[in-house]
Each structure stands twice: as structure tokens, then as C-alpha cells.
Amino acid sequence: MQTAIITGASSGIGREFAVRLDERYRFDEIWLIARREERLKELSDVLNAKTKIISIDLSKSEELEKLRETIRREKPDIKFLVNAAGFGKFGTVKSQTAADIEDMINVNIRALTAVTHMCLNYIQDGGGIINMASISAYTPLPSLNIYSASKAYVLHFSEALGEELKDRNIRVTAVCPYWVASEFISVAKQTAQSEAVDNFKFITYPYPVVSRAIYDNGCGKMLSLAGALPHILKGLAYIAPSKVQMSVWNRIRKLHTLNINNLLQTIPNN
């Protein structure tokens, strides 16, 4: 039984992974994980493979334990694990609610690590793990602080995990996109300082990011950067001191360069 397990499958990048992996490989089963069951059911209807819908809140330890139990019981033969569940909130640390801070750390760091750990015994030798990091992993970002720090964790975790799993030929790829048009931005704006970040120029779409990530993982690349901009930003992060990077970010982050609400309305299910 060839299985793919995808977290964050109810929208955006995770959903795109489900569609593209289903198109490309013959899975016996695809496990779709997120909170919104209806969305997962709708996705299931358009996939060729049989699916298992797992509607859980990954920020909650007890729900992660339920997933661990399911994996232990079913012993899936995992060909791909995609950790796409994650979110960010705009605004300074002081302006955030304690619950948002905790949830961001729980979903972006704790759940991603736990889901990876619980799958490790069941991933086939030669299988793939794709973790959604972000280009923000390379730069400390005021007003997107906890999110960018959480993605720095994902990047480091993925790179070191890839080394640890080399002897089993398991390819681990961290995906680091720039802005992607998805519900991510609507969720990130649900804060007291919703306009703290308002510059989404050069935004891309899930398809190029996901296609590139699947290709890069197939080539055994540790890092997947779709398009020129993430390459440029990564290069700048290496040569410019953090202080300079943050000062540039602070100058540009509020520039209202395009009507993001109009653009987001064009995304299905948003």
C-alpha cells in the first residue's frame, strides 16, 4: 500500500500538493489532514486515489496523539510525507494574543516535528519528506517575528533530518517560497495590526511552488526555491547583516502595492 500523508491539505499549498502528487504517482491511499473536514471531503472527490480524511487540530497534543495511534495501528507504507500545515499572524509580538503565539509555535514547529517523528518508522527507504518552510526563514522579520523564527526552525530541522536519513535514501526538502496567493494572507491579517504587513508585490501561486518542490525533492535537493526572487532574497540574507535586512523590510512591508483582497477573491474557496 503506497501512501502519501499531507498536512494542511484543506487549502492552498497543501491542497495543491495533494492534487499534483495524485496526478503524478499511483498511491493506494492519500491521507488528508487539516481541521476543516468539508474541505478535505471536497478534495477527496477530485482525487484518483482512495483517501483517508483525518480532521484534527494539529495545535492540540491530544489530537496529535490520535494521529500517532492511527499510524501505529495502520502501519502505512509512506512514500511521501508533506508537512504543509502552518500559519502566521501579522503584528508585533506585543500586539499578538497569547493563544495565537502558542498556536503558531504548536502548528509550525511542534506538530511538524511530531508528525515527522511519528512517520519515520513507516517511510519507505527512498521515500520523500517535503516540509513547508518559507523564504522568511533566512531573515528575522519584525511584525512577522514568531512566524519567520518558526520557519527558521523548519529549515534547520529539515536540512539536518535529510543528513540523518541519507543512509535510507529518504530525501528531505525544505520549501522556501516568497508570498503565495492562498488563505495564508487572510488568516495572517486577522490581527489587531492587520496592516503591519501590506506589501505583496511579486506574489506567486501554489502551482509553481508545488511543482518545483516535487521536482526538487525527486532530485534529492535539500532546498526548493521557485522563481528568481527567493534565490535573490536568500543571497541577500547571506551577504547583508540582519540589521540592514530588517531596516529594508521595515521600509517596504507596509507599502500597499496591490489590492490583495481582490486577488485573494480569485482563489477558489477563499
Ligand X SMILES: NC(=O)c1ccc[n+]([C@@H]2O[C@H](COP(=O)([O-])OP(=O)(O)OC[C@H]3O[C@@H](n4cnc5c(N)ncnc54)[C@H](OP(=O)(O)O)[C@@H]3O)[C@@H](O)[C@H]2O)c1
Q: Is 35 in the site for ligand X (CB under 6 A)?
A: yes
Report in angstroms how near the CB of residue 167 gets to ligand X at its nearest.
28
Nearer to ligand X, 3 or 83 (CB): 83
Using rule CB under 6 A, residue 57 touches ligand X: yes
CB of 53 to ligand X, least distance (A): 11
For residue 10, state whether it binds ligand X (rule: CB under 6 A).
yes
Give the residue with the Cβ less far from ligand X, 124 or 227: 227
Interaction of residue 36 with ligand X, rule CB under 6 A: yes
217 interacts with ligand X by CB under 6 A: no
8 Å CB contact between 207 and 110: no
Residue at grid coordinates 522556501: 176
Cα gap 254→199, rounded to integer Å = 6
Q: Would you say 77 or 140 has its CB closer to ligand X?
A: 140
Is 8 a binder of ligand X (CB under 6 A)?
A: yes
With contacts defined by CB under 6 A, name the span among 52-60, 66-74, 210-218, 247-255 that binds ligand X: 52-60
- Residue with smaller CB distance to ligand X, 77 or 159: 159
Would strands 171-175 and 2-7 be described as parallel, antiparallel, or unpaired?
A: unpaired
Q: Are 68 and 118 spatial neighbours (Cβ–Cβ below 8 Å)? A: yes
- Sheet of strand 29-34, all strands in order from the earlier edge strand to the far edge: 50-55, 29-34, 2-7, 77-83, 123-132, 171-175, 223-224
Q: How far is CA 135 from CA 6, 42, 99, 122, 175, in A?
A: 21, 30, 25, 30, 8
CB of 145 to ligand X, least distance (A): 14
Closer of 77 and 149 to ligand X (Cβ)? 149
Among residues 81, 130, 152, 180, the one that binds ligand X under rule CB under 6 A: 180
3 binds ligand X (CB under 6 A): no
Decide: 56 and 62 in contact? Cβ < 8 Å. Answer: no
Contact flag: residue 84 with ligand X (CB under 6 A): yes
User: Closest CB to ligand X among 86 and 127?
Assistant: 86
Query: Alpha helices, DSSP H only, in the chain?
Result: 12-24, 37-46, 61-74, 98-105, 112-119, 145-164, 183-188, 206-218, 228-239, 242-252, 260-265
How many binding residues for ligand X (CB under 6 A)? Answer: 28
226 binds ligand X (CB under 6 A): no
Residue of the chain from 43, 71, 107, 129 that contacts ligand X (CB under 6 A): 107
**85 lies in the site for ligand X, by CB under 6 A:** yes
* Nearest C-alpha neighbor of 46 from the set 23, 25, 26: 23
Do 164 and 207 form a contact (C-beta atoms < 8 A)? no
Pick between residue 86 and residue 162 the one whose CB is nearest to ligand X: 86
CA-to-CA distance for 246 and 240, rounded, in angstroms? 10
The residue ranges that bind ligand X (CB under 6 A) are: 8-14, 34-36, 39, 57-59, 84-87, 107, 132, 134, 177, 179-180, 182-184, 187
